[in-house]
Chain A
C-alpha cells in the first residue's frame, strides 16, 4: 500500500463517500443514486461483476472503502455506456467506474492480476510513448503480460488472427521497430506531465 493511501485514510477518517466525492472523477454523483438497479441490469458484463454499479454506490455510502477499491468490479466495465443512457437519475456511471479504477490504481489498491487493469495500463504506456497506439506492441505486450511462457502460449493461440490481419494488411510486423508516431512527442508528453501535476495537486497526491 502506498503512502498516498495512508494519507487519504487519515484525511477522510472513514468518510469514504466524501473521499470519493473529492478524489474520484464524477464522484460527486454517487450520492444521487436511488438504488433502482437499472445499471446492473443493463451491463453486458453484469454476470461477471462481483459488485455491480448499484452495489458499488451503496458500498461507498456504507463506507466500505477497502472492499470497493480492491474490487475487480470497475475493471469489468466495457465502456458500452448502456448504464449512462438508462440511468433515470442521469449518473455518469461509466465515468464513475473509470474514475474509481483510476483512483484504486493510484492508491495502489487495484487488484494486481486483473487483466483489464494491466491492459489499460499497457495501453496508456503505449500511447504516451509516441502519441499514437502501436497495435502490434500493445498486442504482444498484452500476451506476455503474465510472463514469458504464458505469452508464448497466448501468442500461438492468437497467431491465426495475427496472420489474418497481416495478410489483409491490417497488421505490420515492421511496427516492432519504430512505427507510427506523433512528431511533437515532447510537446505531448509535456502536456500530459502538466495535466498530471495539476490533477495531483487537487487530490493531494504528490510525486506519484
Chain B
C-alpha cells in the first residue's frame, strides 16, 4: 500500500456555494486536514466534476478521496471510484438543509461545515482500502436439511440454477408431512377444489435430477466451518458417517403437529371419533374412494364438526399462543373431502375468526360455502362421548346461545410446532457478565428440554440456529426473511414461521436464492447481507487481547469461535461486518481496515471545541447508518432543522460503538452525546439483530463513567430510532441542546 494521499473536493452546487465560504473550507482541508490536493467545484457530481477527481487519482496519485458535498446516500453512482478510500462529508443534508439561511446563523453554519471537513479528513487518514480475500476453493454445493415440501423445493430450485445439492432426510422417504395428505389446498385458479399434493411428482423430479444427491435415513452428526467451507458429517441410521464440504446450508426441518392429547377438553382421547387434522387425512386415505367411516364402530360419517384454533391462539398453559395460518384452509379442504363424496353429509366448521390467507384464501372459502359447508362463529364448551360419535356443545357467538350437536366425527385443527432443534439460549449459560441478562429474555427458565439438535454446529455459541419467538428460528422478519443469525445457513418453511404449502414453496425458493448468494459472496470474500459486497473484515491485535471473550459472546452471528489458546478465532465468511465485536472490545484491539476505533475516534477529536465562554456547545451524535442516519437525511430533505451544535457521525451499527468514543468525547469537552440505534428486543429492527441491544446495554453502564467525571447523566442519551422517525430524530438532537442549555456547558473544555 502506497502512502496515503488525500484529495479533498468541496462542492458548490445545490446552494452550498451560496451558503458556505467554500474557499475557507478548502483552506481547512489543506492546513488542518493535510489534504495534498483540495479543490472547489461548482457542480461536483457533474461529468466534469467527477472527471476532475478521476484525473487526480490517475495523475496525482490521490488514494484518499474526501467528497464534501451531499449525503453518502446521494449520488452514489457518480462518486464511485475503485481502489481508493472515500469519505462523504455531508454538507448538504448535514449542514445547510438543517440550518436556517439567515445572517445571524451564517457563522455557526460555517463552523458546522468546517468541523465536518476536519472530521472527513481525519477519518480518511485512518482508513485503508480493504483487500479482497478471495477463496477460489470454496464449495458450491448446497446442503438441504429436511425432505419435505420446503426442502424438496429448495433443493430443486438450487439445482435448477446449476448448484449441486445434497438433501439429508431423517426418515426413509421424501415428502414430509405433505406425503401424508390425501389432497392439498388448491394452488391454481379458480381455487375451488382440493388438488393433488404434488409430492410424488416433486420426489420423482428430485430423483431424476443429476445435481441432487438424496440421503434418506440420515442426520447431521456435526457441522462446522463457514460459508463456502462448511463441513458436515452425515450419519445414516445404519451407523456409517461421511464428511462432505458445502458452500451454504438450508434448514427445512419443518414442523410437528401439536400433540392433541393435551386437549381432553375438546374430547381428544375420550373417543376415537375425535381426531386431529392429520388423523382425518389418515381416515380419508383409508376410505379410498368410498365413504369415510368413523373409527369407533365403522359407521359411515354423516355429520362432522371441525373445531378451529384447537389448542392454539390461546393463552392457556400448554397451548400455542400463535395462529398456524394454514388450518382454516385445511379444514375447508377436509370438509370438501366429505362434500365432494356426498353433498348431504353435514359439515360444520366452528371458528372464531376465519383466516384464509394467500392466493386461494377467499376463493376457496367461498367455494366451501357454495358446496354447503356450514360456517359457525362459535366456541366449544364441551365435547362428551359415550364411545361412538360425540355430543358437542358450543356457544354460537353471533346468536349468543349454546347449541348442541350430535356428530359422528370431530376434527381438531391443531397448530404447528417447529422442529428448530436446540434452543441454544435456554441451554447455554453464558459465562460473561452482562450477556447473562440477555439470555433471560428468551425463556431461560425452561432449560430442560430434551430436544435433538438438527445441525449439531460446533459453533462457540451453540448447536443450532438461535430462536426468536415460540421456538421458531430467528430470521429478520421485517426486512430480510430467511436470514438467520448464522451466516450462510438459511431457515425456510414452517420451521421459521407457521405457513401453508403454498407459502412454503415460495419461501424455499427464496432460501435457495439466498444460499446461492452466500456461496458466491464467500468465493469473492465479500460480506453477505446486509453489508452485501463489503470486503472489509475485522482483525485483532493478539498482543493486546485479554481473552475476555466479550467479542465471542456478543457477536450476533456466532462468527467468532475460540482457538485452543482461548483467543478469538474469526471466521471471516460468517462475519456480517457490523462491528459489534469492535464495540465490545474493552482493550480496543479489534478493527476493520476502513472502520475502526480510530476512524471514528479521530473524527471526534478533530471537531473544534470552543472554550466555555464562547457558549457554543458541541453535541456528538452517533447515528446508525441503516435507520437513524437516513432518518436525519430525510428530515433535512423535508425542511426540518436541528441544532447547530450537533456533529453527526454515521456508524455501521450502534453495536459497533465503543464506549471509549463516548468517554473521549466527554473528556475533550463535548457537552452531550446522543446515540441513535434501531429498535431492539423481540420485534427488533436492528439489521444486525443484537447490535442495538448490546449498545443499549453498554450505555446503561455509562453512568458510572459519568459520575467518575462528575458529569450529569443527562449528557448521554441513547435512543431507538426508526427510519420513519423523520420528525422525531431531529427532535432528539434538539432536546439534547435544550438539556445543555439547562444544565450548562461541560467543564471539560481546554
Contact string, B52-65, partner A, CB cutoff 8 A, digits 1/0?
Answer: 00000000000000
Within 368-395 of B, Cβ neighbours of A (below 8 Å) are at: 369-370, 372, 374-377
Would you give the shortest CB distance from A30 to chain B, in whole angstroms? 10
Q: In the docked arrangement, what's the CA distance between A89 and B362, Å?
A: 10
Residues of chain A lying within 8 A (CB to CB) of residue B399: 55, 58-59, 62, 64
Q: In the docked arrangement, what's the CA distance between A31 and B372, Å?
A: 7
Q: In the docked arrangement, what's the CA distance between A52 and B374, Å?
A: 19
A34-B375, A35-B375, A61-B374 known; A54 vs B369 contact (CB < 8 Å): no
Identify the closest chain A residue to B374 (Cβ): A61
Q: Is B478 an interface residue (CB 8 A)?
A: no
Within 49-65 of A, Cβ neighbours of B (below 8 Å) are at: 54-55, 58-59, 61-62, 64
- In the complex the two chains form, is A55's CB within 8 Å of B398's CB? yes
Q: Is B366 an interface residue (CB 8 A)?
A: yes
Q: In the docked arrangement, what's the CA distance between A17 and B369, Å?
A: 12
Q: Is A32 an interface residue (CB 8 A)?
A: yes
Would you give the shortest CB distance from A90 to chain B, in whole angstroms? 10
A32-B366, A34-B354 known; A58 vs B396 contact (CB < 8 Å): yes
Would you give the shortest CB distance from B398 to chain A, in whole angstroms? 4
Interface centre among B354, B366, B369, B376 (most CB of A within 10 A): B369
Would you give the shortest CB distance from B367 to chain A, in whole angstroms? 11
Q: In the docked arrangement, what's the CA distance between A55 and B354, Å?
A: 17
Residues of chain A lying within 8 A (CB to CB) of residue B396: 58, 62
Residues of chain B lying within 8 A (CB to CB) of residue A17: 374
Residues of chain B lying within 8 A (CB to CB) of residue A34: 354, 365, 369, 375
Q: In the docked arrangement, what's the CA distance between A108 and B150, Å?
A: 60
A54-B398, A58-B396 known; A31 vs B369 contact (CB < 8 Å): yes
Within 5-46 of A, Cβ neighbours of B (below 8 Å) are at: 17, 31-32, 34-35
Q: In the docked arrangement, what's the CA distance between A62 and B405, Å?
A: 10
Q: In the docked arrangement, what's the CA distance between A17 and B399, Å?
A: 16
Identify the closest chain A residue to B403 (Cβ): A62
Residues of chain B lying within 8 A (CB to CB) of residue A61: 374-376
Q: In the docked arrangement, what's the CA distance between A59 and B377, Å?
A: 12
- In the complex the two chains form, is A35's CB within 8 Å of B398's CB? yes
Identify the closest chain A residue to B368 (Cβ): A31
Residues of chain A lying within 8 A (CB to CB) of residue B377: 35, 58
Within 323-380 of B, Cβ neighbours of A (below 8 Å) are at: 354, 365-366, 369-370, 372, 374-377
- In the complex the two chains form, is A62's CB within 8 Å of B375's CB? no
Residues of chain B lying within 8 A (CB to CB) of residue A54: 398
A17-B374, A61-B374, A62-B376 known; A32 vs B398 contact (CB < 8 Å): no
Residues of chain B lying within 8 A (CB to CB) of residue A62: 376, 396, 399, 403
Q: In the docked arrangement, what's the CA distance between A59 and B403, Å?
A: 11
Would you give the shortest CB distance from B353 to chain A, in whole angstroms? 10
Q: In the docked arrangement, what's the CA distance between A67 and B187, Å?
A: 41
Interface centre among B366, B398, B399 (most CB of A within 10 A): B398
Within 562-580 of B, Cβ neighbours of A (below 8 Å) are at: none
Would you give the shortest CB distance from A83 to chain B, in whole angstroms? 16
Identify the closest chain B residue to A37 (Cβ): B398
Contact of B376 among A32, A55, A58, A89 (CB under 8 A): A58
Identify the closest chain A residue to B351 (Cβ): A35
Residues of chain A lying within 8 A (CB to CB) of residue B398: 35, 54-55, 58
Residues of chain B lying within 8 A (CB to CB) of residue A32: 366, 369-370
Q: In the docked arrangement, what's the CA distance between A31 and B398, Å?
A: 15
Q: In the docked arrangement, what's the CA distance between A34 and B332, Å?
A: 14
Identify the closest chain B residue to A64 (Cβ): B399
Q: In the docked arrangement, what's the CA distance between A55 and B369, Å?
A: 17
Residues of chain A lying within 8 A (CB to CB) of residue B369: 31-32, 34
Residues of chain B lying within 8 A (CB to CB) of residue A89: 366
Residues of chain B lying within 8 A (CB to CB) of residue A55: 398-399
Residues of chain A lying within 8 A (CB to CB) of residue B366: 32, 89
Residues of chain A lying within 8 A (CB to CB) of residue B403: 62
Would you give the shortest CB distance from B626 to chain A, in whole angstroms? 39
Residues of chain B lying within 8 A (CB to CB) of residue A59: 399
Q: In the docked arrangement, what's the CA distance between A183 and B372, Å?
A: 48
Identify the closest chain A residue to B377 (Cβ): A35
Within 706-727 of B, Cβ neighbours of A (below 8 Å) are at: none
Would you give the shortest CB distance from B574 to chain A, in whole angstroms? 49
Q: In the docked arrangement, what's the CA distance between A35 and B370, Å?
A: 15
A55-B399, A58-B396, A58-B399 known; A31 vs B354 contact (CB < 8 Å): no
Residues of chain A lying within 8 A (CB to CB) of residue B376: 58, 61-62
Would you give the shortest CB distance from B677 to chain A, in whole angstroms? 42
Within 81-110 of A, Cβ neighbours of B (below 8 Å) are at: 89
Would you give the shortest CB distance from A36 to chain B, in whole angstroms? 10
Q: In the docked arrangement, what's the CA distance between A32 and B369, Å?
A: 6
Would you give the shortest CB distance from B355 to chain A, in whole angstroms? 12
Would you give the shortest CB distance from A64 to chain B, in whole angstroms? 8
Identify the closest chain A residue to B372 (Cβ): A31
Q: In the docked arrangement, what's the CA distance between A89 and B365, Å?
A: 11
Q: In the docked arrangement, what's the CA distance between A89 and B369, Å?
A: 11
Residues of chain A lying within 8 A (CB to CB) of residue B365: 34
Would you give the shortest CB distance from A80 to chain B, in whole angstroms? 23
Would you give the shortest CB distance from B379 to chain A, in whole angstroms? 14
Q: In the docked arrangement, what's the CA distance between A62 and B372, Å?
A: 13
Residues of chain A lying within 8 A (CB to CB) of residue B374: 17, 31, 61
Q: In the docked arrangement, what's the CA distance between A58 and B401, Å?
A: 12
Q: In the docked arrangement, what's the CA distance between A61 and B372, Å?
A: 10
Identify the closest chain B residue to A40 (Cβ): B398
Name 23 interchain pairs, CB-CB below 8 A, sorted by A. Answer: A17-B374, A31-B369, A31-B374, A32-B366, A32-B369, A32-B370, A34-B354, A34-B369, A35-B377, A35-B398, A54-B398, A55-B398, A55-B399, A58-B376, A58-B377, A58-B398, A58-B399, A59-B399, A61-B375, A61-B376, A62-B376, A62-B399, A89-B366
Top 8 A-B pairs, shortest CB-CB distance:
A58-B398, A32-B369, A31-B369, A61-B374, A35-B377, A58-B399, A55-B398, A35-B398
Residues of chain A having any CB pair with chain B under 8 Å: 17, 31-32, 34-35, 54-55, 58-59, 61-62, 64, 89
Using A31-B370, A59-B399 as known contacts, list a sample of 19 further A-B pairs with CB atoms less than 8 Å apart, ordered by residue number in A. Answer: A17-B374, A31-B369, A31-B372, A31-B374, A32-B366, A32-B370, A34-B369, A34-B375, A35-B375, A35-B377, A35-B398, A55-B399, A58-B376, A58-B377, A58-B398, A61-B376, A62-B376, A62-B399, A64-B399
